[in-house]
Structure 1
Amino acid sequence: MFNLWFKESISRFRREPTLALSIFLVISSLLVFIAYPLFKISVASFYNIEGELSISAYIRILSGGNLLTALTNSLKLALVTATLSTAIAYLFAYTFAYMNVPWKKLFSGIAILPIISPPFVIALSAILLFGRQGFITNSILGMENANIYGFHGLVLVQTLTYFPIAFLVLAGLLRSISPALEEASENLGASRLETFIKVTLPLSISGIANAFLLVFVQSLADFGNPMTIGGNYTTVAREIYLQAVGSYDIQAGAALAILLLTITCIVYALQKFWVGKRSYVTVTGKPSNSRRLIGEGWVRNTLFGICVFLSITVVLFYVLVPIGSFIRLWGINYSFTLDHYRYVFSLGQKAIKDTLFLSVIATVIAGILGMVIAFLIVRKNFYGKRMVEMVSMLSIAIPGTVLGIAYILAFNGPPFAIAGTATIIIAAFVVRAIPVGIRSGVTALQQIDPAIEEAATNLGANQSQTFFGIVLPLIRSAFFSGLVYSFVKSMTAMSAVIFLVSAKYNLITASILSQVESGRIGVASAYCTLLIIIMVVALLMLNLLVKMFGEQKFTSKRPA
């Protein structure tokens, strides 16, 4: 039976050489840039500096001391941050879905600001507001020994940074809940509170679990904020970097990375197992009335007031960064200056050019590769298909610091000696970005009738012509969505690439971190401001492309 399958596969690949080449390149890329680095970091965690097989690193971590403290600190921080972020996000999403309030689009725009910004803009603003020379703590309240650094500062910063991610998950879910069930509950005599507790909240469990676990993993893997505002509160992502780069203890860094990867994989597995076993279907195809929005009352006014307060807080944190870029010395000399921008455009110009250059290349590769993998997963049957799907989506669960140290171990010598080159940075960008593009492509392809592609094949088109001439135009929206996400992810990447920057190629995020560590807050603010401007301009251009190329709608139905 295997021989028959093998012969049929060889015959098919001979007829479709482009398909065979695509499968080979995809599998090779996934093995080299995802599986191989993870194998190398796993092996490194069991070998000490003398090259002897040892589990001493795991014993050191689990027996106590700074390494175990970092691990427990990260879990505590992730738990608190995920709980607060999910609660705030649910409040936002519920207000938008169930309340008749003004400025919804404005609030939605404010809520996604942290997603398109550098990973530690909020932390930088927190220093400007509440640091030792902070505007509120020092200039207004006169506190000389204010300390925003540590656990409480990290909770504040991470909550403001990650609640928009939870909001995006919950907003769509709450809007999609059928109003018929809630109306039936109220018609049977239940109050609004009882309806919320017994109907709305249970139907939201899947979204709440997804949002909580997503923020939990993001917080657990966060590197930029702990490095910027963590102070003496050590976290596992920060400790991985310090062990590998500062102490040159690769085994300890690799062991911590494996433990962190194990935790994130367990969290994702729990998410799939727990949420996946339950049914939350409310849209059945039967007609239902639109939801009656709550337009008055103390509940509506209270929730709206909280949303306004949180939105103003987020805006305040973002406005401070551009303001700080024009201040000579924050907390001491508030005079206007352009010196920080002169520095950025002279000594820091290379980091801006390198980041743009590498991000654009990675965006194109990630966009096309994501669609190709999605096409292979949905439309083709081949040996190793499940492996391709699993490995390509694995990077969702890989924290950035784990990927960074894995790349250093894998590509610092033969057979793939690409450390210090542009290739290793582009590869890290692509690996971090493709899962979203793949999922978007899979979703889009599942809505398109395969008969369209079969017709093209019957008319003489080969696989390449079918994909680029038929499939890609039909999934253009998913393709451009993948491009947008890839560009945002690449431009703001921090934890994965902090290990990979070199004298030849530097990045804006690494430069910002370096300036913060040196106490040059004004220069760091200037870098952040320029990065935000670049992001906004690029997103506007990409959205314009989406409108230009996405106007034509394609629909398909199976012939009777």
Structure 2
Amino acid sequence: MKGRFKTEIDDAKKIFRDPILLTTIIFVMISLAVFIVLPLYEVLKESFVNNDGAFTLQYYTQVLKQPDTKEVLGNTLILGGFVGIICTIIGFLFAYADAYINLKLRKVFGLLAILPIVSPPFALAMSFIMLFGQRGFVTHTLLGIKEANVYGFWGLAVVQILTFFPVAYLTLAGLLKQIDPSYEEAARNMGASRSHIFKTIILPLLKPGIANAFLLVFIQSVADFGNAMVIGGNFNTLAAQTYMQAMGNYDLKGGTALATVLLSISIFMFVLQKYWVGNKSYVTVTGKPSRQRDYITEKSIVVPVETICYLLCAFILVLYILIPFGSFVKLWGIDYTPTLKHYEYIKNLGIKPILDTTILSLISMPITGILGMIVAFLVVRRKFFGRGAVEFTSMLSMAVPGTVIGMGYILAYNKQPIILTGTSIIIIIAFVFRSMPVGIRSGVASLQQIDPGIEEAAQDLGANSMKVFTSVTIPLIKDAFFSGLVYSFVRSMTAVSAVIFLVSAKYNLLTVAIMSQVDVGRIGVATAYSTLLIIIVMIVVGVMNFLLSKIGIRTSTRDV
């Protein structure tokens, strides 16, 4: 105990001897407290305090007494569980095919992994309505079904599954590729069948990864706002109900009570995923695979797995292709005459939302990247009091639903001493702290693979923390740093749930404009806006990747 205390004292002395490091730690702590903890505190405070400033549970009582609240809570949990299970199964199938089968169209998997990221979060919902809605191309035009109803649980569940299964796929693909093939080879030499190896070797090794994938998808599903608003119909979820309670019913107190319930579910699952399941792994104990795995050649396995994967890929690609296609026809489901009128409407309406979104995303991008790498550096390389709190808080915004954080920003920054509502600054801050956790995670993973002795050598030669960070650390983790930059730009361009509370007459955003067009039934205009958004994202990401490749830097979806 005394030895540990002495070590902590020595670490504190080192920090105080380095004013730049001390200032950085204080700055990071204050930033996290002001822009993550404070908004969440304001949401909790608003739900527990009445207009006279006294503690009360009346808003929870009122909300919970409403006949549809329990139904909405049940809907959210059922949807999250169902989507989590199906996404994990599909993600595992794709990951297994990627790791064990010599796929001819392997790059398509990578494309599928990035499409949900570069498109609006409700893009697939719009396409699904265009195919299977009341005026859908399949239901109405091809099959002649006049009363097709795509809204509700099944429509929302299918769209969420197609949107979120790449999360499970990316989580499991890396783990499957880390399994040492020598285990499977030894079992095969002893006469074990493929199915026996699968049940006794692969599945046991992947249990923590499978649980991790499920929890990640569950968190995404319960926090999903865009799809729930577009295709949820009468099947209400907490994320959508929170927004409707606060903004639709003008009941901010009731909205914060619902937001707190939603926040509790998300944080519980986040803690479970990060500190219980996330720390369990049976895959990497043998180190890197000793040699490349022999691909499966048995047609009884290859044919069904490839068929399922390719059919699902084709369906998803059709849904994404429908987005630009829908923007070039007069009236979807009625008149498919080619036209540019939707783009002319956008031009006449004004391109301000496009410019605002792009400019604010570009401004937030370097801030997010630099701050994310600083936090990763502090968490991995420096020992200081409160390091665990910094790590947890910095990653917390990944688990907090956007509707909750957006409501918190409105409550926290609409009064003295910090008034930011209606400004571009509040939107940039929301972009930064919503995207930062992915950059931190990428930076932490990269730093853990680098020998700290390199940085210690620079310090021994007299370099301060700033010099070590800029001259040694950043060059060593440049791939992760620039991957974080690319991801933060894309995430900001496609954000909706948090920023829908923050837009104003002066600053409007593209995703919010798309949702407003969907609300009034202008699917053609919504798809035109979505097409422009995807084009802008692809151009900026393409240019960045091209420029970075010229200086030997690789960015990858898997890194983020």
Letter in 2 for 1:534: I
Deviations 1:117-149 (A, max 9, x none): 110110010111111111111111111111111
Q: Superposition pairs for residues 267-282 of structure 1, below 5 Å?
A: 267-272=269-274, 274-276=276-278, 278-281=280-283
Distance 1:397 1:544, change over 3 A: same
- Residue 213 of structure 1 corresponds to which residue in structure 2? 215
- Residue 400 of structure 1 corresponds to which residue in structure 2? 402
Q: Superposition pairs for residues 98-109 of structure 1, below 5 Å?
A: 98-109=100-111
- Name the CA distance, whole Å, in 1 between partners of 2:378 and 2:288: 35
- Residue 558 of structure 1 corresponds to which residue in structure 2? none
Deviations 1:69-113 (A, max 9, x none): 211111111111111111111111111211223111123323431
Tell me if structure 2 keeps the 8 A contact 1:178–1:283: no
- Residue 151 of structure 1 corresponds to which residue in structure 2? 153
- Residue 482 of structure 1 corresponds to which residue in structure 2? 484
- Name the CA distance, whole Å, in 1 between partners of 2:116 and 2:529: 16
- Residue 557 of structure 1 corresponds to which residue in structure 2? none
Distance 1:96 1:406, change over 3 A: same
Q: Superposition pairs for residues 290-439 of structure 1, below 5 Å?
A: 290-439=292-441
- Residue 95 of structure 1 corresponds to which residue in structure 2? 97
Once the two structures are TM-superposed, the CA of residue 174 in structure 1 deviates from its matched residue by: 1.1
Q: Superposition pairs for residues 196-207 of structure 1, below 5 Å?
A: 196-207=198-209
* SS in structure 1 of the partner of residue 330 of structure 2: strand
Once the two structures are TM-superposed, the CA of residue 331 in structure 1 deviates from its matched residue by: 1.2
Once the two structures are TM-superposed, the CA of residue 544 in structure 1 deviates from its matched residue by: 2.3
Tell me if structure 2 keeps the 8 A contact 1:124–1:228: yes
Once the two structures are TM-superposed, the CA of residue 463 in structure 1 deviates from its matched residue by: 2.9
Which of the residues 159, 162, 176 maps onto 1:160?
Answer: 162
Q: Could you state the TM-score of these two structures normalised by the residue count of structure 2?
A: 0.93
Tell me if structure 1 keeps the 8 A contact 2:178–2:288: no
Distance 1:287 1:171, change over 3 A: closer
Once the two structures are TM-superposed, the CA of residue 49 in structure 1 deviates from its matched residue by: 5.1
- Name the CA distance, whole Å, in 1 between partners of 2:20 and 2:88: 46
- Residue 515 of structure 2 corresponds to which residue in structure 1? 513
- Name the CA distance, whole Å, in 2 between partners of 1:188 and 1:409: 65
- Name the CA distance, whole Å, in 1 between partners of 2:387 and 2:271: 20
Distance 1:226 1:374, change over 3 A: same
- Name the CA distance, whole Å, in 1 between partners of 2:345 and 2:72: 36
Which of the residues 42, 46, 49 maps onto 2:48?
Answer: 46
1:20 to 2:16 alignment = no
* SS in structure 2 of the partner of residue 210 of structure 1: helix
Distance 1:69 1:124, change over 3 A: same
Q: Superposition pairs for residues 65-214 of structure 1, below 5 Å?
A: 65-214=67-216
Once the two structures are TM-superposed, the CA of residue 338 in structure 1 deviates from its matched residue by: 0.7
- Name the CA distance, whole Å, in 1 between partners of 2:303 and 2:8: 67
* SS in structure 1 of the partner of residue 104 of structure 2: coil
Letter in 2 for 1:125: S
* SS in structure 1 of the partner of residue 399 of structure 2: coil
Tell me if structure 2 keeps the 8 A contact 1:480–1:542: no
Q: Percent identical across equivalent pairs?
A: 52
1:264 to 2:258 alignment = no
Deviations 1:354-401 (A, max 9, x none): 101111111110100011111222222333222222211111211111
Letter in 1 for 2:160: Q
- Aligned-residue RMSD, C-alpha: 2.3
- Name the CA distance, whole Å, in 2 between partners of 1:346 and 1:286: 58
What runs of 5+ residues in structure 2 fail to find an aligned partner?
Answer: 555-560
Q: Could you state the TM-score of these two structures normalised by the residue count of structure 1?
A: 0.93
- Name the CA distance, whole Å, in 2 between partners of 1:101 and 1:303: 10
Distance 1:427 1:278, change over 3 A: closer
Tell me if structure 1 keeps the 8 A contact 2:38–2:412: yes
Distance 1:17 1:473, change over 3 A: same
Distance 1:283 1:347, change over 3 A: same
Moved more, 446-455 or 122-131: 446-455
What runs of 5+ residues in structure 1 fail to find an aligned partner?
Answer: 553-560
Once the two structures are TM-superposed, the CA of residue 23 in structure 1 deviates from its matched residue by: 1.7
Tell me if structure 2 keeps the 8 A contact 1:60–1:67: no
- Name the CA distance, whole Å, in 2 between partners of 1:489 and 1:444: 21
Tell me if structure 2 keeps the 8 A contact 1:81–1:158: yes
Letter in 2 for 1:16: D
Number of residues of Structure 1 aligned to a counterpart in Structure 2: 552
Once the two structures are TM-superposed, the CA of residue 246 in structure 1 deviates from its matched residue by: 1.1
- Name the CA distance, whole Å, in 2 between partners of 1:89 and 1:5: 45
Letter in 1 for 2:282: Y
- Name the CA distance, whole Å, in 1 between partners of 2:238 and 2:197: 42
- Name the CA distance, whole Å, in 2 between partners of 1:83 and 1:12: 48
Distance 1:548 1:83, change over 3 A: same
Tell me if structure 2 keeps the 8 A contact 1:477–1:546: no
- Name the CA distance, whole Å, in 1 between partners of 2:157 and 2:219: 14
Distance 1:72 1:348, change over 3 A: farther
- Residue 234 of structure 1 corresponds to which residue in structure 2? 236
Distance 1:315 1:5, change over 3 A: closer
- Name the CA distance, whole Å, in 2 between partners of 1:332 and 1:238: 30
- Residue 535 of structure 1 corresponds to which residue in structure 2? 537
Moved more, 19-28 or 163-172: 19-28
Letter in 2 for 1:483: L
Once the two structures are TM-superposed, the CA of residue 33 in structure 1 deviates from its matched residue by: 0.3
- Name the CA distance, whole Å, in 2 between partners of 1:314 and 1:145: 24
Distance 1:289 1:524, change over 3 A: same
- Name the CA distance, whole Å, in 2 between partners of 1:278 and 1:467: 31
Deviations 1:10-42 (A, max 9, x none): 975675332222122111111110111111111
Distance 1:458 1:229, change over 3 A: same
Once the two structures are TM-superposed, the CA of residue 511 in structure 1 deviates from its matched residue by: 0.4
Letter in 1 for 2:20: T
Deviations 1:393-450 (A, max 9, x none): 1112111111111111111111111011111111111111111111222222233333
Moved more, 115-124 or 373-382: 373-382
